[in-house]
Amino acid sequence: MRKLVLRGLAVALIVMAAAIPASADEWTVDKAHTNVDFKIKHLGISSVRGEFTDYDATVQWDGKDLSTLQVTGTIRATSVDTGNEKRDNHLRDHEFFDVTKTPEIKFVSKSVEKVDEDTAKMAGEITIKGVTKPITLTVEHGGTIPDDGWGNARAAFAVTGELNRKDFKVQMDSDLKDAGIGETVRIEINTEVTKPLAK
């Protein structure tokens, strides 16, 4: 019986060890080469684009295997910019992001499944206006190169996904006015991240 118990414990430890991702390094987001954009339909015939300009993110990755990628991010909703001041102020109001009460949008990755060597599906949770929902993002690795002169490795990623804004109570008080705005929001993030090269 003792041997069976010990064997069971050994198997459990092996399974737990296999579930722990490989050692990952922390990468720094290069904000000069990063855009956090979104797109939404207007009246069903065109699209309005916007971006968030104030954000922070933590990226951990072993530099090789996309399944080791881990990301957490925080966006300050007040930084929304669609190129129209009146519209942006409305987006900050209670009907949309309600930045006075809920100033931040948060994302936490939970798991990553590789599609191929340069593409993965990242499952996580996103919190908007105090509502947390699951979301799956497509991550495409554009490549990793040595950043000559700066002593860094530099990697590029394109991240895309969609969500329904009404799931997060991001909508106008008037159903009639809200009907002109698409429900599906397209997320488009292009980023470069860096880390010091090993010496």
Q: Give the ranges where the chain is alpha helix by DSSP (H).
A: 2-19, 85-92, 175-178
Question: Distance (Å, rounded) from C-alpha 124 to C-alpha 129?
Answer: 17
pLDDT for the residue 197:
85
Summarize the confidence of residues 82-89 as an average pLDDT: 98
- This prediction's pTM: 0.85
Q: Is residue 4 part of a domain?
A: no
Q: Is residue 76 part of a domain?
A: yes
Q: Which two tokens stand for residue 93?
A: 């109001």
pLDDT for the residue 199:
63
Q: Could you give the angle at the alpha carbon of 72 between the alpha carbons of 54 and 153, nearest 5°?
A: 85
Q: Is residue 9 part of a domain?
A: no
- The answer to whether residue 6 scores a pLDDT higher than 60 is no
Q: Is residue 99 part of a domain?
A: yes
Q: Is residue 125 part of a domain?
A: yes
Summarize the confidence of residues 22-43 as an average pLDDT: 92
> Among 17-21, 54-58, 168-172, 182-186, which is the least confidently predicted range?
17-21
Per the prediction, the chain carries an average pLDDT of: 89
Question: Distance (Å, rounded) from C-alpha 185 to C-alpha 163?
Answer: 5
Q: Is residue 13 part of a domain?
A: no
Radius of gyration of the chain (CA): 20
CATH of the domain at 165: 2.40.128.110
| % pLDDT > 70, the chain | 88
Question: Distance (Å, rounded) from C-alpha 193 to C-alpha 197?
Answer: 13
pLDDT in tens, 127-178: 999 999 999 999 999 999 998 778 899 999 999 999 999 999 999 999 988 8
Question: Distance (Å, rounded) from C-alpha 60 to C-alpha 68?
Answer: 8
pLDDT for the residue 17:
37
In the chain, how many domains are there?
Answer: 1
- The answer to whether residue 15 scores a pLDDT higher than 80 is no
Summarize the confidence of residues 2-16 as an average pLDDT: 39
pLDDT for the residue 23:
64
Q: Is residue 11 part of a domain?
A: no
Q: Is residue 175 part of a domain?
A: yes
Written as one string, the DSSP assignment of 28-68 is EE-GGG-EEEEEEEETTTEEEEEEE--EEEEEEE-SS-GGG
Q: Could you tell me the residue range of the domain that residue 181 belongs to?
A: 23-196
